[in-house]
């Protein structure tokens, strides 16, 4: 019984020479991937270089890294019938890369690179699960491997940005954005202050990376496609004016120039209970609700409470986040399910209302004095 097992283990440990190397990177609570690019070699990385501007921790001085393909997404594509060696790296705590159908799993350990290899034998979509406890969001740390024919894989890989391209992406041009924003302003307001009557949320003060992701989701039919998401459908139609990368960059650059005015609260609830619930939310969104780009969680504090309530309800009902490619929304869907009823939603939003609003710390101080 032991001997055959050890022979198979020998196969498990020894990677075929023709295996393609791909790096899978784990973090709380997402996956990202890196391909070695045309030179077939990975550039060096260092945990100490990790930042919002350099989420892969790339060493800018290493020429081998310039052509590395960086896939900043939970979804990765692999070619069928080709052996793959996955190099596993963690940015923070222990994780574990598991695809149940591949029958392989291995932990990701910060400070070292572990590996596993496999050959996908059929095409399809396979879920990636983290199977090493990594904190509150452990059960929502999902990803997806799409196994496709080789040519589909090649064309997908060619679309992905290299490190070089990402570094050289020009900043958005607010002036060009101002032109584009004219369409948006009718609902979201001239200063991005939001308009409840138009069901348009505040944009001023929201983080650029998050708005970018949502615009892409609207454009690609990932958000605003659910039949019950009336307002989302509206927005999806409007996004047709922002098709190109540059247009999105420009309009976001313009929105970033808006003053971040405090919002009035319209929702009341049990703040104490909300605070209790927020023990979970804060892990991603920040204990002040300020949003954490590294965890891909947007800002909540200082945003409009009626919009937060609606989105939480949408997540709870699967109106938002149920699209198969919306991995981040899917995560929020699972997390929103802990809000057992409408009252819980109101309570947690009422607590978010008490959090300091960006750019207006006086208000926050006043609030804390009142308490």
Q: Which of 19, 80, 93, 267 binds other proteins (CB under 8 A)?
A: 93
Stretches 36-44, 89-97, 184-192, 195-203: which one binds other proteins (CB under 8 A)?
89-97
Q: Which of 32, 74, 98, 148 binds other proteins (CB under 8 A)?
A: 98
Stretch that binds other proteins, among 67-75, 96-104, 150-158, 225-233 (CB under 8 A): 96-104
Nearer residue to other proteins within complex by CB, 249 or 296: 296
Residue 320: which of 230, 198, 188 has the closest Cα? 230
User: Where in 339-358 is the site for other proteins (CB under 8 A)?
Assistant: 340-341, 344
Q: Tell me, residue by residue from 25 to 44, as one string, x for binding to other proteins by CB under 8 A and - for no binding.
A: --xx----------------
* Cα separation, 233 vs 347, whole angstroms: 28
If you write DSSP's letter for every residue of 248-274 in order, what string do you get?
A: HHHHHHHHTTS------------HHHH
Distance of CA 321 to the CA centre of its chain: 12
Please, what is the minimum distance in Å from the beta carbon of residue 102 to other proteins?
Answer: 9
The count of chain residues that interact with other proteins, using the rule CB under 8 A, is 71
Other CB atoms within 10 Å distance of the CB of residue 353: 26
* Residues contacting residue 87 through CB under 8 Å, at least 6 positions apart: 21, 22, 23, 24, 42, 113, 114, 115
CB 251 within 8 A of CB 242: yes
Tell the smallest beta-carbon distance from residue 360 to other proteins (Å). Answer: 23
Q: How far is the CB of 185 from other proteins (least distance, A)?
A: 32
Task: Give whole-number Cα distances, 30 to 49, 137, 177, 225, in Å.
Answer: 19, 9, 31, 24
Nearer to other proteins, 263 or 335 (CB): 335
* Beta-carbon contacts of residue 7 (< 8 Å; ≥ 6 apart): none
Cβ count near 27 (within 10 Å): 22
For residues 265-294, which are near other proteins according to CB under 8 A? Answer: 277, 279-280, 283-284, 292-294
Buried b / exposed e over 223-248, threshold 16 CB at 10 Å, is bbbbeebebbbebbebbeebeeebbb
**Binding flag, residue 227, other proteins (CB under 8 A):** no
x/- string (CB under 8 A) for other proteins, residues 119-158?
A: ------xxx-x-xxxxxxxxxx-x----------------
Residues 291-310 that bind other proteins (CB under 8 A): 292-295
How remote is the C-alpha of 23 from its chain's centroid?
18
In the complex, the smallest distance separating the C-beta of residue 46 from other proteins, rounded to whole angstroms, is 8
Q: What angle do CA 130, 136, 140 make, to 5 degrees?
A: 45
By CB under 8 A, what part of segment 99-118 binds other proteins? 100-101, 103-112, 114
Cβ proximity to other proteins: between 184 and 344 the closer is 344
CB of 320 to other proteins, least distance (A): 15
Which 305-334 residues touch other proteins, going by CB under 8 A? 330, 333-334
To the nearest whole angstrom, how small is the minimum distance from the Cβ of residue 92 to other proteins? 5
Q: How far apart are CA 102 and CA 12, in angstroms?
A: 12
């Amino acid at each position: 019984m032991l001997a055959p097992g050890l022979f198979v283990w020998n196969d498990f440990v020894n990677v075929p020479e023709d295996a393609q190397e791909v790096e899978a990177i784990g973090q709380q609570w997402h996956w990202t991937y890196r391909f070695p690019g045309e030179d077939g070699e990975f550039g060096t990385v260092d945990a100490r270089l990790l930042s919002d501007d350099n989420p892969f921790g790339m060493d800018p001085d290493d020429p081998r890294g310039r052509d590395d393909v960086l896939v900043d997404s939970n979804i990765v594509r692999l070619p069928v019938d080709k052996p793959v060696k996955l190099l596993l790296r963690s940015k923070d705590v222990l994780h574990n890369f598991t695809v149940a159908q591949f029958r392989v799993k291995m932990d990701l350990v910060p400070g070292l690179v572990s590996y596993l290899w496999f050959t996908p034998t059929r095409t399809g979509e396979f879920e990636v699960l983290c199977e090493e406890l990594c904190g509150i969001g452990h059960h929502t740390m999902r990803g997806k491997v799409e196994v496709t024919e080789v040519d589909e894989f090649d064309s997908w890989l060619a679309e992905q940005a290299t490190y070089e391209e990402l570094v050289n992406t020009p900043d958005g041009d607010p002036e060009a954005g101002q032109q584009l924003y004219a369409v948006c302003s009718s609902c979201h307001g001239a200063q991005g202050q939001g308009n409840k009557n138009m069901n348009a949320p505040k944009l001023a003060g929201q983080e650029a990376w998050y708005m970018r992701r949502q615009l892409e989701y609207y454009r690609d039919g990932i958000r605003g496609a659910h039949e019950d998401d009336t307002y989302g459908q509206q927005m999806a139609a409007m996004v047709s004016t922002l098709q190109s990368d540059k247009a999105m960059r420009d309009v976001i650059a313009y929105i970033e120039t808006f003053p971040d005015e405090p919002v009035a609260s319209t929702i009341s609830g049990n703040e104490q209970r909300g605070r209790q619930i927020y023990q979970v939310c804060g892990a991603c969104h920040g204990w002040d609700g300020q949003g954490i780009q590294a965890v891909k969680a947007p800002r909540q504090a200082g945003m409009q409470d009626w919009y937060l309530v609606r989105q939480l309800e949408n997540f709870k009902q699967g109106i938002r986040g149920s699209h198969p490619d919306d991995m981040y929304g899917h995560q929020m869907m699972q997390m929103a399910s802990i809000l057992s009823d409408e009252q819980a939603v109101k309570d947690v939003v009422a607590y978010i209302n008490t959090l300091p609003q960006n750019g207006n710390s006086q208000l926050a101080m006043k609030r804390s004095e009142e308490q």
